[in-house]
């Protein structure tokens, strides 16, 4: 079937329409003459459609003379006819060839360069390096040697641990992996200092010299464990010249003060339901407004921006419709229950402290003072809270700041 179809397409055939009352006789004559007919279909008692080769069609004329039927060509099929048609339409043929060439050419150019995996590193820097290596949108695919680009990237960007370049159609995918560098903070020498005013309760030094004693009061910024290599009892590994990176755990008692207040009367505004709507249509730099501004004393704005976007192309048209709804507001005076207000003030005073505590802080004692105040004719409940906690107070401070200062002073 397939072979027959291909062969007849190659040789060319015609679909004929046979009309008349002696169709069976026509078929018998044709087959007797050795004319091959196929896909014969009777559409009505006097109409038949069949396929016949070009040479067969010529020989059918003989039969038509002796049998009272008419034979018409309905359609010419196959390669010879296609050639003939295309030969008459050279422009079409040239256009088809040209468009195929165009597609071929356009698809052998790199149009997009994508860089994945840049976290610390600036993508622009990677792009620059790629451009130096001759990679930018618009270069021929054949001119790209992935291994060579990878090498170039690795040589020019010391921050990279690995670089991979892959061509996917017209997209050049550059995947980079950055080296994980130890943060500067983890290597420099320095001291452990107090990060808040406290009463020292416990010191466990790992590296460095302890400068304070348990039971001593320290102020914020005071050195607790010194990283200097001065003392004969200093131990640990040396980092930098003459300094260590001090380490240790210092705990102390810290007092926190927190305030919280709550009004007994508050003003709540809510929408009345009246809405005024305005529109703005902008195209590029131009814009048109319509709709009146609201006549309300107080109102709330709600803005909606609509941009027609071609989702598939991730491309937005420079047209924007901005709809602004103005909702009228009324303000109402609401009186709060004194107990609820007190709760709120208490909670706020705690929240003010909680944010400053270290996560592992242990609460030793709490003191709460309630004050009722009059302000602008409204009653106000204030809460003063003092919390005593036991927590870590030491924090690392790099030494090189101090060192730099000393050097500068000495050079003068």
Partner 1 sequence: MGKTTRDRLLQTLASAFELPEDVVLDLTRITITGNTQFLMENHRGILAYDPEKISLRTDQGETVITGRNLKIDSLFASEIMITGSINGIQFIRSRG
Q: Is residue 277 part of the contact set for partner 1 (CB under 8 A)?
A: no
Part in contact with partner 1 (CB under 8 A); list of ranges 35-43, 61-69, 295-303, 364-372: 35-43
Measured in degrees and rounded to the nearest 5, phi and psi for residue 268 equal: -115, 130
For residue 217, how many other CB atoms are within 10 A of its CB? 13
Q: Is 66 in the site for partner 1 (CB under 8 A)?
A: no
* Residue closer to partner 1, measured from CB, 75 or 306: 75
3-state class (DSSP) for residue 231:
coil
Which tokens hold the place of 191? 């001291």
Contacts of 97 (CB under 8 A, 6+ apart): none
CB of 28 to partner 1, least distance (A): 4
CB 216 within 8 A of CB 366: no
Question: 149, 145, 179: which is closest to 162 by C-alpha?
Answer: 179
Report how many residues bind partner 1 under the rule CB under 8 A: 18
Residue 37 interacts with partner 1 (CB under 8 A)? yes
Q: Does 18 bind partner 1 (CB under 8 A)?
A: no
Taking the alpha carbons of 12, 14, 15, 21 in that order, is the dihedral positive or negative? negative
Q: Is 23 in the site for partner 1 (CB under 8 A)?
A: yes
Q: Does 27 interact with partner 1 (rule: CB under 8 A)?
A: yes
Q: Is position 7 an interface residue for partner 1 (rule: CB under 8 A)?
A: no
Q: Alpha helices, DSSP H only, in 258-399? A: 338-354
Q: In what order do the strands lie in the sheet with 171-178?
A: 112-116, 171-178, 160-168
Among 6, 11, 21, 38, binds partner 1 (CB under 8 A): 38
CB of 145 to partner 1, least distance (A): 57
Is 31 one of the binding residues for partner 1 (CB under 8 A)?
yes
Is 30 an interacting residue with respect to partner 1 (CB under 8 A)? Answer: yes
- Under rule CB under 8 A, residue 45 binds partner 1: yes
Of the two residues 38 and 162, which places its CB atom closer to partner 1 in the complex?
Answer: 38
CB of 69 to partner 1, least distance (A): 13
Question: Strand order in 247-263's β-sheet?
Answer: 217-218, 198-207, 247-263, 378-392, 362-375
Task: Assess 400 for contact with partner 1 (CB under 8 A).
Answer: no
What is the nearest approach in angstroms of partner 1 to the Cβ of residue 60? 13
CA 20 to mean position of chain CA atoms = 72
Q: Are 67 and 25 in contact (CB under 8 A)?
A: yes
Give the binding range for partner 1 (CB under 8 A) out of 41-49, 249-257, 262-270, 305-313: 41-49
Place of tokens 């047209």: 319
78 in Cβ contact with 5 (< 8 Å)? no
Shortest Å, Cβ 89 to partner 1:
34
Q: Is 71 one of the binding residues for partner 1 (CB under 8 A)? A: no
- Determine, following the binding rule CB under 8 A, whether residue 250 of this chain makes contact with partner 1: no
Structure tokens at 375: 């302000």
Distances (CA, A) of 247 to 62, 339, 396: 113, 48, 8
- Of residues 24 and 354, the one with the C-beta less far from partner 1: 24
Instruction: Give the interface segment with partner 1, choosing from 21-29, 160-168, 334-342, 381-389 (CB under 8 A).
Output: 21-29
Task: Compare residues 50 and 160 and give the one whose CB is closer to partner 1.
Answer: 50
Out of 21, 28, 75, 298, which residue is the one contacting partner 1 (CB under 8 A)?
28
Which phi and psi angles does 348 have, rounded to 5°? -65, -40
Q: How many CB atoms lie within 10 A of CB 93?
A: 14
> In the complex, what is the shortest distance from the CB of residue 65 to partner 1, in angstroms, rounded to a whole number?
19
First to last CA, the chain: 102
One of 36, 81, 111, 296 touching partner 1 (CB under 8 A): 36
Give the binding range for partner 1 (CB under 8 A) out of 12-20, 38-46, 213-221, 249-257. 38-46
CB neighbours of 182 closer than 8 A, spacing ≥ 6? Answer: none
Residues forming contacts to partner 1 in the complex (CB under 8 A) are 4, 23-24, 27-28, 30-32, 34, 36-42, 45, 50
């Amino acid at each position: 079937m397939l072979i027959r179809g291909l062969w007849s397409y190659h040789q060319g055939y015609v679909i004929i329409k046979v009309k008349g009352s002696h169709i069976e006789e026509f078929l018998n004559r044709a087959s007797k003459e050795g004319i091959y007919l196929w896909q014969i279909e009777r559409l009505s008692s006097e109409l038949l459609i069949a396929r016949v080769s070009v040479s067969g069609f010529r020989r059918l004329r003989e039969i038509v003379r002796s049998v009272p039927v008419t034979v018409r060509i309905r359609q010419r099929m196959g390669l010879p006819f296609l050639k003939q048609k295309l030969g008459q339409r050279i422009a079409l043929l040239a256009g088809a060839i040209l468009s195929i060439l165009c597609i071929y050419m356009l698809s052998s150019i790199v149009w997009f360069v994508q860089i994945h995996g840049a976290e610390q590193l600036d993508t622009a820097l990677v792009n620059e390096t790629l451009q130096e290596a001759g990679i930018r949108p618009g270069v021929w695919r054949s001119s790209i040697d992935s291994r060579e680009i990878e090498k170039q990237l690795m040589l020019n960007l010391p921050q990279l641990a690995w670089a991979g370049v892959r061509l996917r159609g017209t997209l050049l995918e550059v995947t980079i992996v950055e080296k994980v560098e130890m943060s500067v903070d983890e290597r420099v020498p320095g001291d452990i200092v107090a990060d808040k005013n406290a009463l020292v309760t416990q010191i466990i030094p790992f590296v460095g010299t302890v400068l304070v004693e348990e039971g001593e009061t320290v102020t914020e910024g005071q050195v607790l464990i010194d990283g200097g290599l001065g003392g004969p009892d200093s131990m640990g590994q040396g980092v930098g010249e003459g300094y260590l990176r001090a380490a240790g755990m210092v705990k102390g008692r810290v007092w926190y003060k927190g305030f919280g207040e709550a009004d007994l009367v508050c003003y709540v505004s809510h929408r009345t339901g009246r809405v005024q709507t305005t529109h703005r249509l902008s195209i590029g730099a131009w814009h048109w407004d319509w709709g009146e501004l609201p006549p309300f004393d107080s109102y709330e704005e709600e803005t909606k921006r609509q941009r027609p976007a071609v989702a598939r192309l991730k491309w937005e048209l420079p047209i924007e419709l901005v709809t602004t709804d103005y909702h009228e507001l009324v303000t109402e005076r609401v009186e709060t229950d004194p107990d609820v207000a007190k709760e709120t003030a208490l909670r706020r005073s705690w929240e003010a402290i909680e944010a400053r505590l270290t996560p592992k802080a242990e609460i030793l004692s709490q003191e709460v003072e309630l004050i009722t105040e009059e302000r602008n004719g409204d009653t106000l409940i204030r809460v003063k809270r003092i919390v005593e906690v036991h927590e870590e107070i030491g924090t690392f401070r790099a030494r090189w700041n101090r060192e730099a200062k000393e050097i500068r002073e000495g050079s003068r």
